Structure formats: C-alpha cells, structure tokens
Structure 1
Amino acid sequence: MSWLFGINKGLKGEGAGPPLPLPPAQPGAEGGGDRVLGDRPAPKDKWSNFDPTGLERAAKAARELEQSRYAKDALNLAQMQEQKLQVEQQSKLKEYEAAVEQLRSEQIRAQAEERRKTLSEETRQHQARAQYQDKLARQRYEDQLKQQQLLNEENLRKQEESVQKQEAMRRATVEREMELRQKNEILRVEAEARARAKAERENADIIREQIHLKAAEHRQTVLESIRTAGTLFGEGFHAFLTDRKKVTATVVGLTLLAGGVYSAKNGTAAAARFIEARLWKPSLVRETSRITVLEALQHPFQVRQRLLSRPQDVLEGVVLSPSLEARVRDIAIATRNTKKNRSLYRNVLMYGPPGTGETLLAKKLAVHSGMDDAIVTGGDVAPMGRKGMTAMHKLFDWANTSRRGLLLFVDEADAFLRKRATEKISEDLRATLNAFLYRTGQHSNKFMLVLASNQPEQFDWAINDRIDVMVHFDLPRQEERERLVRMYFDKYVLKPATEGKQRLKLAQFDYGRKCSEITQLTEGMSGQEIAKLALSWQATAYASEDGVLTEAMMDACVQDAVQQHQQKMCWLKSEGPGRGDEPSPS
C-alpha cells in the first residue's frame, strides 16, 4: 500500500519517487483524444493509450486512508522503510568500497609476485649464463688438455719411431756383423780342414805304421797279463784245494753269510708289518677312533680325553621309528655284552635309502659298546687295482691287533662286493673280493663287520652268507620328521642365537608352530636332507645384513629344499625301475 503515499519501488525495491503525473489535456479535444484538427488528425503521443482509472482509484483510496485513524501509523511505517533502505544502501556502498580495496591489494600483491618472479627468472638466467660460461671455459680447458695430450702422444710416437728405427739399424748392423763373422769362420774351418787333410794324406804311411806298432805293443801286454794272472790263480787255487782247513772254513763262512742275509730280510719284513700295524692306519681306512702310538705322541691331551670319555647312549642324537629304535637298542646291548665276555661278534648289514643315518648309527654303536671304529668306503677299493688285495689283508691284520675290539664299518659296500659272475668286475677287484671273503669267513672276537648299502641286491651270494643281522632303515615318517626338525632347529639355530657366541639372531615368532608346518612340507625327505635344511637356515642368517633369521627366510629355504627334493625324485624315476636305493613311501 506504499504507493498510496507517493512511494514507488523499482524491480529490486530500490528508490522512491512521486506518483506519475497525469497526461496533459490536448488542445481542441473534447471527450476524446482522437478528434482531428481540421483535415489532419491529431498527433499521437505516449499518453494516448493511458488509462487513468487506476490513478483515480488510488487517489480515492488515499483520501480514504487520510481520513482513517491509521494514517499516521502508515506514514511512520513508510519512513522506517525509507530509513532501512538508506542503511542498506550505505552497507552496500561500504561493501563495494571494501571490494575495491581488496581488489587494489590483490593487484598490488600480483604486481609484487610478478616482480618476484621476474627477479627469480633474472637470477636463474644469470646463473644459467654463468654456468654456461663456466662450461665453455671448462670445455676450452679440456680442449687445450686434449690438444696438449695429442701433441705429447705425437711426440712420443715420433720418439718411439726414431728409437725403433735406431734399433732396427743396430739389429741390422749386428746381423751383418754376425753374418760376416760366420762366413769368415766357415772359411777358416774349411781352410784348416783342407790343410789337415793335405797333411794326413802326406803322412798317411807314417800314421799307419805308428798304429800298427801301438796295436802290437797292446796285444803283447794283454797276453803277458793273462799268462801272469792264470799262473797266480792256478797256483793259489791248487794251494787252497790241497789245504783241507781252508776249504772247511770257507764253506762254513758262506753258509753263515747266506743264513744271515735270509734271516735279516724276513725279520725286517716282519718288524715292518708289526710297526705298520700298530703305528699307522691302513690306506683303506678313512677315519678311525683307534689311538695309535704316533697319534698319542702328537696329541696327548686329545687322546687322554678320549680315553676318559664315558660310553654314550646308542640312540643319543639319532631319531628312528619306535620299532627300529628297539631293534637297534637290542643290537647295541648284545654287542656291548659280547665285548665284555670276549665272545664272537656278529656281522650286521644296514640298508635303505641314502641319508637315513647308517654311518651315524655305526659310530654311536662303537662308542656305546666301548669299541674302536674304523670307516672304510667301498669306492676306494676298486681304483687300487692290483694293490687292492694287499691293502685288504693289511686292513684285517690291523683290525686283529685291536685290544678294545674294532667295529669295521664299510660304507657303500656294494661298490666292490658285487657278484663275481658278472663280466663288469675286473680280475683285480675279483681278487680283492676273494681276499675279503677269506678274512671274513669265520666270526672274530677282534673286530665286528658292519656293512652299509643302498643296493644290497647287488651283493655276491657269499657276502649274504656272512651277514648275521639285517637292519632296514626307512625314510622318517611324520612323527620322526617333526622330532628331526625340532632337534636340528635347536642345534643349528636356537642354541647359537641364545648363546650369543655367533653372529646369529632369531626373530620373534611361534617356533613350535613353524616346526610343525615344516614337518608337513618335508614329506619324503631323509634325515640328512632335513639337517641340510637347518644348515641352510643358519647360512641364510649369516648372509643377511643384521644376522636375524625371520620366518620368511625360513619359508624360502624350505621351498628351495622341497624343489630340490622333487628334482632328485624326478631324476631317480628317469633312471627306471629296479634301483635298490629308491625310497619307499613313508
């Protein structure tokens, strides 16, 4: 209702003004704006179509409002609205001024930033220019150095060429001198030879006569010597034969001399065999715990410790199945009681896949029984050829001299104890095998024979006849594998890490759970392969930077060991059936 009081708002409610004036009346118009003046029509303006009824109604409403009692309130309301509009206009004006100031400050900041960028770019250009100039200077210096080097090389090359030319000239001069000297020497020798030949031709009769005279004198001297020696020898031999005492003394002396030589020869051989059997080990023995006199003199403290050591349990550090442990323990008890009672030892055959503990158990059996052990490898016998039979006799002679009893362990026995009927065995190896059969034909109370083989079906039948006990070693099952994994983990990893004597540490994880997981992954592996796996853990920790063995490092070693085992099994299958060392399923 503000339009009633002369207030007019725009589209946005801004500004106020007086009400629009009424259009002025046209001259000569009465009742309508369309009357013409004369013949010409009245010109039309912008008010020709204006409808004043709205204004009339507004004026009528204004008069009514003025007469109303709310006229003063309406006027106050209009004034308040006008003041509000003025305040809003002032705030907008201030906002505009603030925006202008902010725009001016942003322009100043932009100009400063542009100036800073310009200075930075100029600095960068200066630096680039300086670097380029320095690069050019360096390049010029390097070019100068290269030119100087080229000049030096050229001078050196010229000097070398000059030296080579001088050397060539000197060599040519020397060769020429040698050639001339050689020609002169040849001419001198030829002249001397011609002069000597001429003199010999002129004096040939005289030289021939001198040779005849010398030959006649030499023949006369030899004949006289022979006559004198024959006369003296005949007279002496005749005098010796006619004297009975001299003949008797001579015969007795020759007889005593022959007997002394024969006795000294045999006695020296017997003494040498005796000393060799007690001071040195045979050539076939690779390793032995037997103490010799020479070893006692060289290492007295180690020998004393070995003599004072107590017998150990035969199964200490050895993991076997329960049934095999019981069988091995019975053999160990029987062997120990046999030694105490000085009875005859039984021969044992240990066969099975490689790496199942035959060698370790043989050593443990010797220590448990209080006997000496000696390890012989079958692969060392065949290359000896003709010396194999002699070496075999020396081996058993040495074994028979043991006072404590000797456990003779023959590893890879099938290498030389093969069937004699086959054509692959040589005559020397056949003779060595016959010597072995001869020395083991009867049981002995001096030594115990333990054979180990992966292919026992290749033994000669006579060897099978000399075996009293056969023990089969199979691949470890899950329980034995877990015991092996835990034992080797404790031996090669846990103890060195806890003692702190070596550069080895162990990360924090569940060791028992990890050993159980490894047991599941190592199915089909032998005890030796599991021991090598534990050693690979130790080696991996040593190869790391900090020496810490983590669970991931152990898993990587296990994966590598499993792949190697599978590759070995593939090789074994590719060789075809019939192999004695093919592992049976665990």
Structure 2
Amino acid sequence: MSWLFGYNKGQQLPPQVPGVPAPPPGGDGDGDKNKAKDKWSNFDPTGLERAAKAARELDQSRHAKEALQLAKMQEETLHLEQNAKIKEYEAAVEQLKNEQIRVQSEERRKTLNEETKQNQARALYQDKLARQRYEDQLRQQQQMNEDNLRKQEESVQKQEAMRRSTVEHEMELRHKNEMLRIEAEARARAKVERENADIIREQIRLKAAEHRQTVLESITTAGTVFGEGFRAFVSDWDKVTATVAGLTLLAVGVYSAKNATGVAGRFVEARLGKPSLVRDTSRITVAEAFKHPIKVTRRLLSRIQDALEGVVLSPKLEERVRDIAIATRNTKNNKGLYRNILMYGPPGTGKTLFAKKLAMHSGMDYAIMTGGDVAPMGRDGVTAMHKVFDWANTSKRGLLLFVDEADAFLRKRSTEKISEDLRATLNAFLYRTGEQSNKFMLVLASNQPEQFDWAINDRIDEIVNFQLPGLDERERLVRLYFDKYVLKPASEGKQRLKVAQFDYGKKCSELAKITEGMSGREISKLGVAWQAAAYASEDGILTEAMIDARVADAVRQHQQKMEWLRAEGKEGDKGGKNPLQHLLEGTPV
C-alpha cells in the first residue's frame, strides 16, 4: 500500500546482505542533519491529505475489501520479488566467495608446484655437486694410488739397481779371488812338477809297462777261451742246430711284431686318432686325453649350449638357423638321418661359429677341415679322404663335419684346371656322401658356391645365405665386443686397462652407423684394436678419441679392401656380374 502514502514503487530500499551493514534509510549514509532538516522543510502534505481522503472513500466503497486484498497481494508480490533479489544477491556473493577460494587454492597450488620445482632443482644441483665431489675424490684417490704405485716402482727399481750393483761387485771380487787362487795353485803345481820331474817320469814309465803287460795277457786269455769254445761248439751239432733255430725264430718274431704294431697303429689311428685333414675337432682323442686331462674333463662335463649364444644374425636368418638347430638336435636324439647344409656368404659372417654352436647345441662332436688342404696332398688325398669318413663313422655321439672353403676342391670336374689327383679325391668324397648317414652331418661353407660340381649340389638338403650384418646387428656386435674386450677386462681389475667416462651406449650406436658394410669378424677385430690401444697408452686408459681413431683406421682399410675387390671383379668380369660383385653387394649368386 505504498501508493496510498505517497511512496513511489521504484524507490525501494535495496535488500540487506548478511555480513554487510545496511545503509541508513533516506540517503547515502552520510547522516547530515542539515540536509535532513532541508528535506522535511520542503515536504508537501497535500499528498497525505489526498491519501487520507482516498482511504475514507475506499472505506465507504463496496469494493473496499477487494481493493485491500489486491493491495495485500501487491505487497506480497513486492515482498517476494525483494526476497528473490536478496537470494540472487546472496548467491552472487557466495559465488564470489567460492571464486575467491578457488583463486586462492589455484595460487596455493601454483605456489606449491613452484616450491616443488625449486626443491627438485635444488636436489638435482646438490646431487650434481655430490657426484662431482665423489668423482673428484675418486680422481684424487686414483691419482694418489698412481703416485704411490709409481713411487713404489721407483723404489723397487732403485733397490733392484742397488742389488744388481752389489751382486756385480761381489761377482767381480769373487772372480778376482778365484783368479788369484788359480794363479797361486798353478805356480805351486809348476814348482812341484819341476822339483819332482824325475819321479813323475819314472812313475809314468812303470804304469805304461804294467798296462802293456796286462793287455797282452788279456788278449792271450781271450783268444784261448774263444778258440776252445768255438771248437767245442762246432764239434757238437746239436748246439749248432739249436742256435740256428733260435735265431730264425727271433727274426720271425721281430718281423711279426713289427707288422702287428703297424696294423694296430693304423687301427687306433682310424678309430681314435685325428685324421690329417681335420684341422680342429671337439672329439676327444687318446693323445689329447693324456696331454690335457683337465681340459678334456671340462669338455665332458660342459652343459649343452644355445645354438645362437654369441652369434648375432638378422631376425629372419636367426629364425631359420634356430629351426635347423632344433631339427638337428631332435634328429640326433631320435637317431635319424642327418641333413646336409650349405652355408654361403661373405667372409666373417659367422658360418664357422654357427657350425660349432650347432654341434654343441645338438650334443654332437664337430670336425673342421678346409678345402685348401686337399689339393696339396696329391695321390694321398683319396686315402686321407677315406680316413676322414672312416673316422667320422666311428663317432658314438654323431659328428658334424664342417668343410670350410669347400669350393677349393669340390669344383666342377668338367674344367681343365682340376688335376687328376684332385678329381679322384672329389670322386672319393662323392662316393662317401652318396647316401644320408645317421653317423655324421655334412656342413659346407663357401664364398663362391657357383663353382661346385653339380653332384655336390645334389647332396645338399638346406641352403642358408649368411649376409653382412645390418644396422641393428652391427650395433649388437659392437656392444658385444665392446663389453667382451673393454668393459669386462676393465671391471675385473686384473689387467692394465681402464675406460674414460663417456656415454658407452651412444658411442656404440654411432659406431654401428660408421661401420656399414663391415663383417662380424672385422667388428670383433675392432674390439681387439681398442684393447691394444689401451695397453699401448702410458696410463692404460681407453678414451673416446682413441676409439674413434681405431674405427676410422678400420673403415679406411675396409674401403681399400673393397676397392681391390672391385678392381679384381672388373678384371674378371667380361659379360655380367661375377661372384665378386655379388659378394660386394651381399646378394645371392
């Protein structure tokens, strides 16, 4: 009912917010009394009069109750609107407080994160300082140890020099005394001989006469005895017959024993001894058992090794050779027929190493022979070849016969370059390998398999191509030989070898990229070169610069070898690719 008393609807008091002091009614809160007096002095009471008049008229009207209800409803509506605005204001204030709390929480979180980062940075810095202090202490300790060792060596050298000089002086004095003693004895002996010269000559004369008389009597006695014995022997024919029969039986016994010893020796050589063509074997011989009993015992007690232990190959090739190893082991366990294998590829790609591992993994003995040893034997090559296969057939564990550089004597028989003796040896080899055996397994290795005789190709059951290692394989090889020839000797401490501080893994990855085109054997020689470089240095420390120098030298040598190989390939190639070009490209022939 504010309109009844002259108040405007738009002039309403703002809602009161909890926690905020309400402004004083009728002003901006300044409380100026003069302004209040001026306001009431200008007040117009006509509005109130009109309101009182309207109220009296409304009371007398029949619609008074409805007007009052309507006014009450308007007041309630206004009151509800005021409450809604108050709620909105309170919600806004609450949201503002929540926003302030969120901002404070965010600031606190940022502060905590920043403090955490600072603490981590401080911890890292302290750790770095501790590491530096520890490294400095180690370096100082190492320097002190080296100084002490050098001082000890110098002291030992000085003591050794003093001892040597003392010994030399003593020997010199002893030599002088000995010479003086010998000279005095010689003078005394000469004086005595001069004084007793007549007596000595008489003694010599008497001894000579006695010796002459004794010899003559001995000769006379011996002649008499032998003469009487010979006359008695000749006169008794029974003794003569027995003597002749005894001598005859003695000659027959000596001849029989000689022949029997030769036959027994050849039998033992064929069964137990190593044939002349076999360069290396894991099969235990009698001579080796007597010479190296400890080594033979360790070999007998050794466990079965993995076929690819220490062999680094590409994944596809590794999968294939592992299947071959499993099949060979199962064939040996089930006493089946072995399959013959041809391994070809560039030198140093692991053919011989895998053949040995294959034999050890399968529980077999291995024997290694080279094709270059067959041609110089000439006519004896056929006999030597038969001895090899006779010896292989006597193996109880099964024998893996590995022929390295097999193309040296298994080449085509139609060519004129092969001699008659080598052709006969090849025929003997073909005869002994005509059928698969459960006693031995034939493994051939060659860099030029296209030179094989066709009959050799017919005897091959499995062909495996060993290519040059790729980037991943080279990195594995570099890490393997760096650990074998550098890190292990340095960690054992028994050798004069140390390694400088640098990132070994990163360095091995870099070397794998640099050594592109190199074989596993060349990378293994790199490991030996690093070890030799450390031994050749004054302090025995292998640095990163020394490694880089050896690798650069090896890369230059490899490039020079490849240039020679290309030149040889161009000279020998008149129409198409020859085996040398295939070897350079690492492609099958």
Q: TM-score, normalised by structure 1?
A: 0.54
CA distance in 1, matches of 2:277, 2:586: 35
Partner residue of 2:354? 361
CA distance in 1, matches of 2:568, 2:449: 18
Partner residue of 2:585? 584
How do 1:499-578 and structure 2 match up within 5 A? 499-576=492-569, 577-578=577-578
Change (3 A) 1:441 1:265: farther
Change (3 A) 1:285 1:485: same
The aligned amino acid for 2:403 is V
The aligned amino acid for 2:277 is L
Partner residue of 1:272? 265
The aligned amino acid for 1:584 is E
Q: Deviations over 1:219-267 (max 9, x none)?
A: xxxxxxxxxxxxxxxxxxxxxxxxxxxxxxxxxxxxxxxxx99999997
- Residue 429 of structure 1 deviates from its aligned partner by 0.5
Identity %: 78
CA distance in 2, matches of 1:466, 1:392: 17
SS of equivalent residue, structure 1 residue 575: helix
Partner residue of 1:399? 392
Change (3 A) 1:442 1:264: farther
CA distance in 2, matches of 1:429, 1:543: 47
- CA RMSD of superposed structures (Å): 2.1
- Residue 499 of structure 1 deviates from its aligned partner by 1.1
User: Does residue 446 of structure 2 align to residue 445 of structure 1?
Assistant: no
Partner residue of 1:83? none
Q: Deviations over 1:73-121 (max 9, x none)?
A: xxxxxxxxxxxxxxxxxxxxxxxxxxxxxxxxxxxxxxxxxxxxxxxxx
SS of equivalent residue, structure 2 residue 585: coil
**Aligned with 1:370 (options 363, 371, 376):** 363
Partner residue of 2:301? 308
How do 1:182-221 and structure 2 match up within 5 A? none
CA distance in 2, matches of 1:261, 1:400: 34
Q: Deviations over 1:471-502 (max 9, x none)?
A: 10000000000000001100000111111111
How do 1:224-303 and structure 2 match up within 5 A? 271-303=264-296
The aligned amino acid for 1:300 is P
Contact 1:278 1:293 in 2 (8 A): no
**Aligned with 1:485 (options 478, 484, 490):** 478
Partner residue of 1:336? 329
CA distance in 2, matches of 1:376, 1:298: 22
Partner residue of 2:316? 323
SS of equivalent residue, structure 1 residue 437: helix
CA distance in 2, matches of 1:374, 1:521: 36
User: Does residue 414 of structure 2 align to residue 421 of structure 1?
Assistant: yes
Q: Deviations over 1:163-202 (max 9, x none)?
A: xxxxxxxxxxxxxxxxxxxxxxxxxxxxxxxxxxxxxxxx
CA distance in 1, matches of 2:405, 2:460: 15
CA distance in 2, matches of 1:498, 1:546: 16
- Residue 348 of structure 1 deviates from its aligned partner by 0.5
- Residue 514 of structure 1 deviates from its aligned partner by 0.6
CA distance in 2, matches of 1:391, 1:442: 20
SS of equivalent residue, structure 1 residue 285: coil
Contact 2:412 2:452 in 1 (8 A): yes
Structure 1 residue runs of 5 or longer lacking an equivalent are: 1-259
- Residue 280 of structure 1 deviates from its aligned partner by 1.6
The aligned amino acid for 1:449 is L
- Residue 534 of structure 1 deviates from its aligned partner by 1.1
CA distance in 1, matches of 2:256, 2:541: 71
Partner residue of 1:92? none
Contact 2:272 2:391 in 1 (8 A): no
The aligned amino acid for 2:479 is R
The aligned amino acid for 1:283 is S
Change (3 A) 1:428 1:585: closer
- Residue 294 of structure 1 deviates from its aligned partner by 2.5
The aligned amino acid for 1:377 is T
CA distance in 2, matches of 1:532, 1:309: 28
Q: Deviations over 1:287-345 (max 9, x none)?
A: 10101122222322221111111100001001001111111111111111111111111
CA distance in 2, matches of 1:439, 1:523: 42
Contact 2:411 2:451 in 1 (8 A): yes
The aligned amino acid for 1:483 is R
The aligned amino acid for 1:327 is R
- Residue 269 of structure 1 deviates from its aligned partner by 6.2
Contact 1:344 1:444 in 2 (8 A): yes
- Residue 582 of structure 1 deviates from its aligned partner by 1.5
Change (3 A) 1:312 1:432: same
Structure 2 residue runs of 5 or longer lacking an equivalent are: 1-252, 570-576
Contact 2:498 2:540 in 1 (8 A): yes
CA distance in 2, matches of 1:537, 1:488: 10
CA distance in 1, matches of 2:458, 2:263: 33
Partner residue of 1:211? none
SS of equivalent residue, structure 1 residue 556: helix
CA distance in 1, matches of 2:293, 2:260: 31
Contact 1:355 1:527 in 2 (8 A): yes
How do 1:71-220 and structure 2 match up within 5 A? none
Contact 2:275 2:391 in 1 (8 A): yes
Q: Which of the two has higher C-alpha Rg? A: 1
CA distance in 2, matches of 1:409, 1:279: 19
Contact 2:345 2:586 in 1 (8 A): no
- Residue 271 of structure 1 deviates from its aligned partner by 3.3
CA distance in 1, matches of 2:446, 2:454: 15
CA distance in 2, matches of 1:564, 1:298: 41
CA distance in 1, matches of 2:487, 2:383: 49
Q: Deviations over 1:28-59 (max 9, x none)?
A: xxxxxxxxxxxxxxxxxxxxxxxxxxxxxxxx
Q: Deviations over 1:542-578 (max 9, x none)?
A: 1111111000000100100110111011011101240
- Give the total of aligned pairs: 328
Task: Flag as ranges the 4+ runs of structure 1 deviating above 4 A.
Answer: 260-270
Change (3 A) 1:494 1:261: closer
SS of equivalent residue, structure 2 residue 442: strand
User: Does residue 491 of structure 2 align to residue 498 of structure 1?
Assistant: yes
Contact 1:407 1:450 in 2 (8 A): yes
CA distance in 1, matches of 2:457, 2:262: 35
CA distance in 2, matches of 1:585, 1:386: 37
User: Does residue 402 of structure 2 align to residue 409 of structure 1?
Assistant: yes
CA distance in 2, matches of 1:424, 1:534: 41
- Residue 274 of structure 1 deviates from its aligned partner by 1.9
Partner residue of 1:111? none
How do 1:7-26 and structure 2 match up within 5 A? none
CA distance in 2, matches of 1:263, 1:508: 74
CA distance in 2, matches of 1:262, 1:544: 66
SS of equivalent residue, structure 1 residue 583: helix
The aligned amino acid for 2:329 is R
Partner residue of 2:379? 386
CA distance in 1, matches of 2:286, 2:546: 49
Contact 1:475 1:584 in 2 (8 A): no
Q: TM-score, normalised by structure 2?
A: 0.54
Q: Deviations over 1:325-377 (max 9, x none)?
A: 11111111111111111111110000001100000000000000010110001
CA distance in 1, matches of 2:488, 2:514: 24
